[in-house]
Structure 1
Amino acid sequence: MIESIYVGMTGLSSFSRGLRVIANNTTNLNTPGFKGSSLRFADAFYSNGSYSGRQFGQLGYGVSTTGTMMSFKPGELRQTGNGLDLAIDGQGLFTLRGEDGKITYTRAGQFQFNSDGILVNQGTGEKVMGVGADGKLTEISIANRRTNAGKPTTAIKFTGNLSSTGTDQTINNVRVIDSAGGEHTLSLKFTNTNTTTAGSWQVDLMDGTTVVGTKQLIFQNGKATAATEKLSFTYTPAGQAAQALTLDFSTDVTSFASGTLSTLAFASQDGFAPAGLSSAAFDATGTLVLTYANGQTEKGVRLSLGRFDTPEAVGALGSNQFEVLDGSAWHTGVAGTDFGSVRSGYIEISNVDLSQEFSDLVIMQRGYQASSQVISTANEMLQELFSMKSR
């Protein structure tokens, strides 16, 4: 009966550990990137039983636990709208490096740029690692990239039909960006010179009432000739350096008879003014994408990801982070082959299944009650034995 009490105690101890694991899972139900665990049970050792010299088989000594097993099944991806909240759709973990140089991993992609412009893990401050051009781990930084320098206009495109039977047309609102980022509005005046050269037009580039330059545009069979489809001008904005402008009529520009109605119009220009950074996010390949207020985008470093062959190679550290227990079972790379894709603006929430946890909780409770009842019964039997002896 003493052995029975011992066996019951192993049940109380093991089911208590199981309750602790369930409690940890349920309290982390809303923890981003959390991976639930389950307790592994095993029967304890055995001995051969005997009575009055007769063997009657093996008797067990209760239950033991052999540790916990983390479940790395993916959690639900929940949209946040923050471009620096990241989730991995598939295999992989984000790579972090602490101040001491230790590498850890996480599925909770809650990141931000610190005051130095370096991407770090929120709350704990570890740097988020990317893959440099040399294939080595590197910081992801926006230092010196918070402003886009801008670009002066070099090419202006037009679209539409310049009526071959018209006499003249003026296109206003031709936008030009100078080298300092200033915007200027020019106009383009077309004068039909078909009487001197078939299909020809005199083209005057105007800055207000000032003629910047004059060129000739010639059409054959309704299309601008190769020699005149791109006209070059030199424009000098007030107080700025001279800049070369190319007026491009090579695409989507025609000249057919349409009375006095012409639809030729300014289409686009390739310049843009300086502007500040408006947003930072990552694309599906894990590449940093910076978007500026002038509509321009730039790409940066690509995120470094890690993955493992077996859960036994992973150790939980807390703060939504994991460490490497067996380096031979770990692999590093980037989103794509053998790794999942990166989802910007999403967070992976806990993979804990609450209904399963409640079901396991009932099992643990019943197991604990049963073990307690075994101890109580064995104790009563002992007391009865002592009572018999005293009589």
Structure 2
Amino acid sequence: MIESIYVGMTGLSSFSRGLRVIANNTTNLNTPGFKSTSLRFSDAFYSNGSYSGRQFGQLGYGVSTAGTTLSFKAGELRQTGNGLDLAIDGQGLFTLKGEDGRITYTRAGQFQFNSDGILVDQSTGAKVMGVGANGALTEISIANLKTSPGKATAVAKFTGNLSSTGTDQTINGVRVIDAAGGEHLLTVKLTNTGTTTPGSWQVDLMDGTTVVGTKQLIFQDGKPTAATAKLAFTYTPTGQAALPLTLDFGTDVTSFASGTLSTLAFASQDGYAPAELSAAAFDASGTLVLTYANGQTVKGSRLSLGRFDSADAVGSLGDNQFEALDGNAWHTGVAGGAFGSVRSGYIEISNVDLSQEFSDLVIMQRGYQASSQVISTANEMLQELFSMKSR
């Protein structure tokens, strides 16, 4: 009976550990990237009973626990709208490097750029690692990418129909960006000179009332000739260096008879002013995409991801981080294939199944009650035995 008490005690101890595991899972229900664990139970050792040299069965010594098992079942991806909140649709994990140089992994992609422009984990400050040119791990930094330097206009494009029966056409508001990012509105005046050369037009580029330059545009069968479709000028803004500028009529410009009505208009130009960084995000391949206020985008470093062959090779460290227990079972790479794709603006929430946890909670509670009842019964039997001595 005393052995029965000890056996019952193993049940109390094991079911208490099971309750602790359930408590840890449920309290991390809303922890991003959290992976639930389950407790492994195993029966304890046995002793063989014998009488007169004959075996008559084995007697067990209760239950023991053999550690916990991580569940890497994917959690729900929840949208946040923050481009630096990242989730992985697949098996990969983000790679982090702590201040001590230790490499860890996480599924909780809540990142931000610190004051030095380096991408770090919001909770711990660990650096988020990317893949360098030589395949080695490297920091992801925007230290030199916070502004877009701007670009002077090189080509201005036009679109529409220039009436072949018209006498002239004036296009105002031709927008040009100079090398310093300044904006200038020029005018293009076209004058029909077809009386001397059929289909020819004189093109004057003007800055206010000042003529910047004069060229000739010739149409054949309603289309600009290859030699005159792109007209090269040199424009010198006030106080700025000379700016080579091409007026492109070769793509979407025609010249057919339409009375005196022309639809020829300024379409676009390829320059842009300097601007500050306005947004940062990652595409599905894990590549950093920076967007500037002038509409320009620049691609940066690519995230380094890790994955494992077996959950036994992974250990929990807290702070939503995991460590590699067996380096031979781990692989490094980038998004795609077995590593999965990166989802910017999303967070993977905990994979805890609350209904399963509550079901396990009932089982643990009943197991604990049953074990305590065994101890109580064995104690009553001992008391009954002790009371027989006094009778």
Q: TM-score range by the shorter chain?
A: over 0.9
Q: SS where residue 338 of structure 1 aligns? A: helix
Q: SS where residue 371 of structure 1 aligns? A: helix
* Cα distance in structure 1, aligned partners of 2:224 and 2:240: 32
The residue that corresponds to 2:300 in the other structure is 300
The residue that corresponds to 1:101 in the other structure is 101
Question: Which segment drifts farther, 307-316 or 47-56?
Answer: 47-56
Amino acid at match of 2:156: I
Amino acid at match of 1:293: A
Q: Deviations over 1:193-246 (max 9, x none)?
A: 110101100000010111100000000011100100100000000000001001
The residue that corresponds to 1:84 in the other structure is 84
Q: Deviations over 1:282-337 (max 9, x none)?
A: 01100000100000000000000000000000000000000010000000000012
* Cα distance in structure 1, aligned partners of 2:21 and 2:99: 31
* Cα distance in structure 2, aligned partners of 1:184 and 1:340: 48
* Cα distance in structure 1, aligned partners of 2:220 and 2:186: 27
Q: Deviations over 1:120-169 (max 9, x none)?
A: 00021100000011110000000021110000000011111111011100
Q: Normalising by structure 2, what TM-score?
A: 0.99
The residue that corresponds to 1:368 in the other structure is 368
| Count of residue pairs brought into register by the alignment | 391
Measured after TM superposition, the shift of residue 55 of structure 1 is: 3.5
Amino acid at match of 2:281: A
Amino acid at match of 1:305: L
Alignment of 1:55-94 (within 5 A): 55-94=55-94
Q: Are residues 1:273 and 2:273 paired?
A: yes
Measured after TM superposition, the shift of residue 52 of structure 1 is: 7.0
Q: SS where residue 15 of structure 1 aligns? A: helix
* Cα distance in structure 2, aligned partners of 1:51 and 1:381: 25
The residue that corresponds to 1:49 in the other structure is 49
Q: Are residues 1:245 and 2:248 paired?
A: no
The residue that corresponds to 2:4 in the other structure is 4
Amino acid at match of 1:331: H
Identity of aligned residues (%): 86
Alignment of 1:12-31 (within 5 A): 12-31=12-31
Q: Are residues 1:165 and 2:165 paired?
A: yes
The residue that corresponds to 1:262 in the other structure is 262
* Cα distance in structure 2, aligned partners of 1:362 and 1:325: 33
* Cα distance in structure 2, aligned partners of 1:34 and 1:166: 72
Q: Deviations over 1:260-290 (max 9, x none)?
A: 1111111100000000000111011000001
* Cα distance in structure 2, aligned partners of 1:305 and 1:147: 28
Measured after TM superposition, the shift of residue 387 of structure 1 is: 1.1
The residue that corresponds to 2:325 in the other structure is 325
4+ residue runs over 4 A deviation: 51-54
Structure 1 runs not aligned, ≥5 long:
none
Measured after TM superposition, the shift of residue 35 of structure 1 is: 0.2
Q: Normalising by structure 1, what TM-score?
A: 0.99
The residue that corresponds to 1:153 in the other structure is 153
Measured after TM superposition, the shift of residue 6 of structure 1 is: 1.0
* Cα distance in structure 2, aligned partners of 1:266 and 1:331: 54
* Cα distance in structure 2, aligned partners of 1:301 and 1:51: 75
Amino acid at match of 1:13: S
The residue that corresponds to 2:116 in the other structure is 116
Measured after TM superposition, the shift of residue 252 of structure 1 is: 1.1
Alignment of 1:202-241 (within 5 A): 202-241=202-241
* Cα distance in structure 1, aligned partners of 2:155 and 2:336: 37
* Cα distance in structure 1, aligned partners of 2:99 and 2:29: 30
Measured after TM superposition, the shift of residue 54 of structure 1 is: 5.5
Q: Are residues 1:342 and 2:332 paired?
A: no
Q: SS where residue 342 of structure 1 aligns? A: strand
* Cα distance in structure 1, aligned partners of 2:372 and 2:328: 44
* Cα distance in structure 2, aligned partners of 1:73 and 1:172: 62
Q: SS where residue 25 of structure 1 aligns? A: helix
* Cα distance in structure 2, aligned partners of 1:135 and 1:55: 65
Alignment of 1:175-194 (within 5 A): 175-194=175-194
Measured after TM superposition, the shift of residue 53 of structure 1 is: 6.3
* Cα distance in structure 1, aligned partners of 2:235 and 2:53: 115
Amino acid at match of 2:114: N
* Cα distance in structure 1, aligned partners of 2:172 and 2:340: 51
* Cα distance in structure 1, aligned partners of 2:241 and 2:54: 110
* Cα distance in structure 2, aligned partners of 1:20 and 1:163: 84
* Cα distance in structure 1, aligned partners of 2:54 and 2:157: 104
Amino acid at match of 2:293: A
* Cα distance in structure 2, aligned partners of 1:136 and 1:366: 53
CA RMSD of aligned residues (A): 0.9
Q: Deviations over 1:157-193 (max 9, x none)?
A: 1111111011100011100000000000001001001
* Cα distance in structure 1, aligned partners of 2:53 and 2:94: 64
